[in-house]
């Protein structure tokens, strides 16, 4: 059976779902928590992100597609189709907050309501999460995997009327409040929900406000504690865009100012202050007739670990890929719809099977 396990664990999700029908022994093996965990760890160790999961829609209507990470074209193979789940019929209203763990599980949070879902797109399965507050715009969320307890955790930072931190575990139906977590209320009150996960730590950006500088906020999923590192002084403006990213095994941020000046920063040690390094700076604006960049919104659709940025600015300008390392720009789509909500590197997993 060990040889069978070693072979099966290398297969994609869709194949494993089908192979559960081979015999009872295979069904039991593939559905077991230990096998799901081993398959998940193999995903973590594989740095390749061949696909991008894209959510797009307006109002009640939405489309979820799998796209190539190289060409941004839709993946049409049946082995990678995304089934429609009944709980996602109104997915178009989930657009304000979206958190993807990067290993097959997506957290969807509805605007101005208390509804939340954990969703495995490849399996077409969802898990409803109990309400944490009546208005989800008054909270920030993160999703991570506890490698010690082999369990997913959703962390919620409630901002009003007072700051509190609560945890929801996939293995438990209840939220629990955590107190000894090094919670700096003045900082985490400014946290944005769009975080990234690296080695068991969720990273968010907390924007500056008044005398409080901007920070990167870290949450250790295993130990359930916060840590903080200040951003460089020249990145503490409130009106610019700051996106936490993962680049070549390091945590960093993508900084966009005036909707066209874009810089890539990484931290050499995300547990230490003052270790930020600016690697690249580029002007990605659309220049007008007089050489003045148009002030259109800069849409960051996805950032890949190899330094490739997929972005859009206007419908006519379409979707483009910019490679920070080669400094080359490639046109991916001729037009762009502003109803695109989210695009992230994606791998399928067996979680929620």
What CATH code is carried by the domain that includes residue 238?
2.120.10.30
Q: How many structural domains comprise the chain? A: 1
Domain membership of residue 23 (yes or no) is no
**The pLDDT value given to residue 206:** 87
**DSSP assignment, residue 94?**
G
Whether the predicted pLDDT of 9 surpasses 70: yes
CA distances (Å), origin 2, targets 30, 35, 55: 13, 11, 39
Model confidence over 173-184: pLDDT tens digits?
A: 889 999 889 888
Mean predicted confidence (pLDDT) in 184-195: 83
pTM for the structure as a whole:
0.85
Residue 3 is predicted with a pLDDT of 83
Domain range for 288: 32-346
Residue 186 clears pLDDT 70, i.e. is over it: yes
Q: Note whether residue 13 is domain-resident.
A: no
What are the C-alpha distances in Å from 62 to residues 54, 90, 91, 289?
Answer: 10, 8, 6, 37
Please indicate, yes or no, if residue 49 is contained in any of the structural domains: yes
In-domain check, residue 14: no
Question: Phi and psi for 269 in degrees, rounded to 5?
Answer: -150, 105
Q: If you search the block for the tokens 């958190």, which residue do you land on? A: 99
The answer to whether residue 9 sits within a structural domain is no
For residue 259, pLDDT over 70 is answered with no
- Note whether residue 1 is domain-resident: no
Q: Does the structure show a pLDDT above 90 at 223?
A: yes
Mean pLDDT of 339-345: 68
> What average pLDDT score do residues 269-289 get?
76
Q: Reduced to 3 DSSP states, what percent helix, strand and coil does the chain have, rounded to the nearest 5?
A: 15, 40, 45
Mean pLDDT computed over every residue of the chain: 80
Domain membership of residue 3 (yes or no) is no
List pLDDT tens digits, range 36-75: 888 887 776 665 556 888 877 655 666 778 888 778 888 8
The 10s digit of each residue's pLDDT in 288-340 is: 445 555 556 778 888 888 899 988 876 667 888 899 999 999 988 887 765 55
- Cβ neighbour number for residue 156 with a 10 Å cutoff: 23
pLDDT in tens, 233-242: 777 665 678 8
- Please report whether residue 8 resides in a domain: no
């Amino acid at each position: 059976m060990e040889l069978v396990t070693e072979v099966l664990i290398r297969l994609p999700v869709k194949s494993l779902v089908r192979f559960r029908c081979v015999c009872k022994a295979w069904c039991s093996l593939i559905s077991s928590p230990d096998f799901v965990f081993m398959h998940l760890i193999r995903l973590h160790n594989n740095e390749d992100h061949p696909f991008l999961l894209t959510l797009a829609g307006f109002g009640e209507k939405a489309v979820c597609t799998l796209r190539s990470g190289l060409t941004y074209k839709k993946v049409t193979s049946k082995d990678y189709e995304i089934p429609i789940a009944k709980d996602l019929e109104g997915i178009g209203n989930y657009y304000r907050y979206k958190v993807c763990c990067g290993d097959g599980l997506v957290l969807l949070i509805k605007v101005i309501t208390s509804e939340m879902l954990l969703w495995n797109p490849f399996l077409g399965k969802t898990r409803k999460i109990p309400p944490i507050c009546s208005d989800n715009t008054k909270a920030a969320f993160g999703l991570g995997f506890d490698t010690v307890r082999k369990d997913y955790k959703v962390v919620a930072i409630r901002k009003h009327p007072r700051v509190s931190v609560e945890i929801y575990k996939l293995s438990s139906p209840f939220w629990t409040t955590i107190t000894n977590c090094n919670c700096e209320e003045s900082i985490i009150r400014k946290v944005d929900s769009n975080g990234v996960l690296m080695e068991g730590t969720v990273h968010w950006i907390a924007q500056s406000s008044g005398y409080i500088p901007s920070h990167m906020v870290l949450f250790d999923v295993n130990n359930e504690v916060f840590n903080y590192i200040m951003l460089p002084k020249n990145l503490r403006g409130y009106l610019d865009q700051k996106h936490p990213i993962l680049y070549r095994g390091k945590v960093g941020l993508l900084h966009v100012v005036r909707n066209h000046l874009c810089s890539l920063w990484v931290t050499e040690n995300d547990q230490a202050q003052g270790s930020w390094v600016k690697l690249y700076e580029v002007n990605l604006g659309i220049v007008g007739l007089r050489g003045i960049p148009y002030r259109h919104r800069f849409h960051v659709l996805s950032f890949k670990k190899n330094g490739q940025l997929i972005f859009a600015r206007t419908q006519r300008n379409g979707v483009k890929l910019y490679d920070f390392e080669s400094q080359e720009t490639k046109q991916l789509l001729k037009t762009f719809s502003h109803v695109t909500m989210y695009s992230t590197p994606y791998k399928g997993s067996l979680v929620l099977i």
